[in-house]
Amino acid sequence: MSANPYGFFDDQAREYVITRPDTPLPWLNYLGQDEFFGLCTNTAGGYTFWKDAKLRRLTRYRYNNVPYDLGGRYLYVNDGGTVWNPGWKPVKAKLDRYECRHGLGYTTIAAGKDGLEVTQKMCVPPGENLELWQVTVKNTGNVAKSPKIYSYQEFCFFEALNDMTNYQRTYSIGEVEVEGNAIYHKTEYRERRNHYTLFACTRDISGYDTSRDAFVGIHEGLHEAKVPFSGKAGNSKAFGWNPVGSHEISLHLEPGQEETFAFILAYVDHTLVKFTGEKFTAPYVINKTVGRAIVEKYSKTGAVDKAFADLKGYWDENLSHFQVESPDPHATRMANTWNQYQCMATFNMSRSASMYETGIGRGMGFRDSNQDLLGFVHMIHDRARERILDIAATQLSDGTCYHQYQPLTKKGNAEVGGDFYDDHLWLILSTVSYIKESGDKGILDAPCGYADRKYGSDSEKETLLHHLETSIAYTMRMRGPNGLPLIGHADWNDCLNLNCHSTEPNESFQTAGDVGGSKAESVMIAGLFLYAARELSGLYSFLGREADSDRIAADRKTMLDIVESVAWDGEWYTRAYDSQGKVIGSKANPEGKIFIESQGWAVLGGAGADNGRARQALESVHKHLYTKNGIVLQQPAYSTYHPEYGEVTSYPPGVKENAGIFSHNNTWIHLGWCLLGEGDRALEYYHSICPSNKEEQIETYRSEPYVYAQMTAGKDAPCFGEAKNSWLTGTAAWTFVVVSQGIFGIQPDFAGLKVDPCIPRGWPGFKVVRKFRGATYQIEVRNPKKVSKGVVSVTVDGKVVAGNVLPILPAGTVAKVVVELG
Ligand code: GLC
Ligand code: GLC
């Protein structure tokens, strides 16, 4: 059993099983994979939205609530006057049994009390714009029971920010209709909307409520809601105020008897379906044709079971592209299941909606979404392709990019603007990784325009490849006095704001007034450029365009010489130059002497490869930054605020960018160790931030043990080891790169599948099944000489292959590959 008192991994079922509802923090799962999404915690908390958590929120959620995580997809049980919820909240009655299983795209909560068992199984079926809850109520006692079940959801007026701020309007606009077992939330449908929310039950109901005041009360809380405690639905019709959806189900169950039915929460948008009918069928009566068809579909026997089976098939297929058997249980479990699963969430959500991202603050990030693709391209090529083109279209023709865009409109967010001088380079990484995986070089010719140009105005130039060239040219052009890239509002480290010297508490650190004419430079961007340029040069070479390849390689050489001549501090690479031309991340600084990002990117970009600096830089990371909970971002932490450095110095020592353990950038060092052939170190570092490895210290760690968190408190913080901001972090994609390509060494390449593992010396070997360009490679890696790295022989179906790149095989082929290290 698990060392974690709150739960355990069920690896066979690919579920995390939570055995107590009072987890150290709400432990979250996501429902949905395409366009309809739900956040669902282990107490059934959370909300749903279609495509965009800001602009199409369907159900309400109050962040920063007391208690934490209140409001969600609640079921109330009234069993002979005793009221409880299977998810424990909000009533928090003592349960005889509670279990929550977070699976891939679904969550099952099952609880029992006084001989009654209720199971609530929730998912969003693939391809559908709706959420299902399959509910089973069973009498496990020996007397007949007549329980009542009440569903409860609070509707959101779609635009989430307005919904939670503009009550002078919103309290007067709420409208609903009830037809049979279906509740229609139709606020604003009369004016500018062509969509509504449907909340229906597949079984006959004995009553309903749509007014929160009637169901809960004015002075009551959700834990003492009037209707479930009275056991009598009010059949209330909301007019204004706060519309909710609640069905009353009256059951009669003999001992041993059970009944199963379902609830459907659907987003119905007349512009999405082939609907040609009238908007209204009578004054104020909405046309319910589409909604009725949905209820009918899922009321048919077996329809809900089929939805869950489809979801399972969907995930079996996604995960089948990479599966490993290895001596390390953490790396195996995370790589096979949870890490890939988290990559789907970051691909879909970017940094928009989690327990820590409210869905209204940040949309899709340019830099973030490009990196998220690195962990996603192997799963669903078409979606990766579409995303790359969407992101590229938010770049401006001079090379700068909108830092964020809204998923619904695909338009850049003007408030955050651009001028983060690393953004554009990540597009090269995502594009090249997509081409290596899929072989689809045609994407380079896809027209995608620039955000500041009319589409089609100069169409022959507005291809994706043109964007990549624009990106390289931009960094080469925008350089400072030392020849290093200018940093703009920030580089990857959003909080290194060397050009925005903010002294005014009411402004954003990133966008506060620029200090005019500043020439602050970033070593990290230089390293990223070395990497990106090598990728683009390699791509050109693959396309047979040697002159272009050489041209980009020459730019790279220029940058490499600059890095080696101005950015080496003696034992590590410096981090930046500030607006006054003073160094950051050097022995010369009293605080912030050594930073992680420039070590990672210099090494990955190929700096220090021939002169020993790469190894020395990583050894310095080990000496100054590494801890058992991961690598802190810099040392010593800043003890006071420096306007000239920005937000990084605003955080208390040991958290976030001020010497916190920012898991995302740890992965670049992991890859660095793999590059240098240090497999033992790579795995030790991998373990230091691996959530599955945190179960023994869960009371300190607190966050979900099945997904990465953005940050763990560093050694300067009083809560060293406490994780925060789980789920939406670039760590997901990058760790999948570390484990699948660095440690297990399975690297998609233009001409085939390269195998170049870097493993602990003690490992006898491992096995990987990898689907690549339509063929399946069953790879066995043997390590008889107990080395970390170095492929000495490769056979494919018994035939020796020269080198370590597996050839591209006809689609459908299954090949047996044996790789020997030595
Ligand atoms: C957050 C941001 C990401 C940034 C990182 C470091 O994860 O989403 O864009 O690079 O913080 O500041
Ligand atoms: C990143 C950083 C965070 C900062 C934010 C600003 O998410 O992690 O510390 O406040 O960017 O956008």
DSSP element (H, E) containing 521 = strand 521-522
Q: pLDDT digit string (tens) for 751-781?
A: 999 999 999 999 999 999 999 999 999 999 9
Question: What residue owns the CA closest to ligand 2's atom 1?
Answer: 494
**Ligand 2 mean position, distance from CA 491 (Å):** 11
Angle at 126 between CA 122 and CA 127, to 5 degrees: 125
Q: Quickly list DSSP for 784-806.
A: TT--SB-EEEEEETTEEESSSEE
User: pTM for the whole thing?
Assistant: 0.97
Q: What is the pLDDT of residue 409?
A: 84
Q: Per-residue confidence at 459, pLDDT binned at 50, 70, 90?
A: low
3-state secondary structure of 265: strand
Choose which residue among 368, 647, 650 to substitute to test ligand 2 binding: the one with the highest number of ligand atoms within 8 A of its C-beta.
Answer: 647
Give how far Cα 786 sits from Cα of 177, 681, 760, 803, Å.
70, 15, 8, 20
Q: pLDDT digit string (tens) for 226-254?
A: 999 999 999 999 999 999 999 999 999 99
Q: pLDDT digit string (tens) for 14-30?
A: 999 999 999 999 999 99
Q: pLDDT digit string (tens) for 345-372?
A: 999 999 999 999 999 988 899 999 999 9
Q: Has residue 284 got a pLDDT over 90?
A: yes
Strand 746-749 versus strand 207-211 pairing type? unpaired
Question: What residue owns the CA closest to ligand 2's atom 7?
Answer: 494
d(CA 737, CA 743): 9
Least confident residue range of 259-263, 451-455, 534-538: 451-455
Q: What is the pLDDT of residue 415?
A: 80
| Helix residue ranges per DSSP H, 584-626 | 596-605, 613-624
Q: What is the pLDDT of residue 534?
A: 98
3-state secondary structure of 771: strand
Q: Residue-wise over 759-787: b if at least 16 C-beta within 10 A, else e? A: bbeebebbebbbbbbebbbebebbbeeeb
731 alpha carbon, closest ligand: 1
Q: What is the pLDDT of residue 368?
A: 97
The helix-helix angle for 464-477 and 381-392 (nearest 10°) equals 50
Strand 709-712 versus strand 723-726 pairing type? antiparallel
If you average pLDDT over every residue of the chain, what do you get? 96
Q: Which amino acid is at 320?
A: S
Choose which residue among 358, 371, 391, 492 to substitute to test ligand 1 binding: the one with the highest number of ligand atoms within 8 A of its C-beta.
Answer: 492
Ligand 2 near 377 CB (within 6 A):
no
Answer yes or no: 610 catalytic.
no
d(CA 391, CA 424): 10
423 alpha carbon, closest ligand: 1
Q: What is the mean pLDDT of residues 403-415?
A: 86
Q: Secondary structure of 332-394 in the HEC alphabet?
A: HHHHHHHHHHHHHHHHHHCCCECCCCECCCCCEEHHHHHHHHCCCCCCCHHHHHHHHHHHHCC
d(CA 507, CA 283): 48
Q: Per-residue confidence at 516, pLDDT binned at 50, 70, 90?
A: confident
Q: Which of 494, 555, 578, 716 is catalytic?
A: 494
**Ligand 1 mean position, distance from CA 779 (Å):** 36
Q: What is the pLDDT of residue 462?
A: 85
Q: Which residue has 């306007």 as its token pair?
A: 643
729 alpha carbon, closest ligand: 1
For residue 95, give the DSSP letter.
P
Beta carbons of 412 and 405 less than 8 angstroms apart: yes
Q: Quickly list DSSP for 37-58.
A: EEEEETTSB--EEES-TTT-EE
Q: Has residue 456 got a pLDDT over 70?
A: no
Beta carbons of 135 and 144 less than 8 angstroms apart: no
Q: Has residue 454 got a pLDDT over 80?
A: no
Rg (CA), the chain: 28
Ligand 1 atom at minimal distance to the Cα of residue 730: 7
Neighbouring C-beta atoms of residue 357, cutoff 10 Å:
19
d(CA 726, CA 704): 7
Q: pLDDT digit string (tens) for 413-429?
A: 888 888 899 999 999 99
Beta carbons of 393 and 410 less than 8 angstroms apart: yes
Beta carbons of 633 and 660 less than 8 angstroms apart: yes
Q: What is the pLDDT of residue 461?
A: 58
Q: pLDDT digit string (tens) for 51-92?
A: 999 999 999 999 999 999 999 999 999 999 999 999 999 999
Q: pLDDT digit string (tens) for 421-451?
A: 999 999 999 999 999 999 999 999 998 889 8
Quick one: tokens of 431?
């594009």
Residues 6+ apart with CB under 8 A from 622: 681
Q: What is the pLDDT of residue 595?
A: 98
Q: pLDDT digit string (tens) for 103-131?
A: 999 999 999 999 999 999 999 999 999 99
Strand 775-782 versus strand 814-821 pairing type? parallel
Q: Has residue 657 got a pLDDT over 60?
A: yes
Ligand 1 near 351 CB (within 6 A):
yes
Q: What is the pLDDT of residue 457?
A: 61
Q: Has residue 460 got a pLDDT over 60?
A: no
d(CA 562, CA 568): 10
Ligand 2 near 711 CB (within 6 A):
no
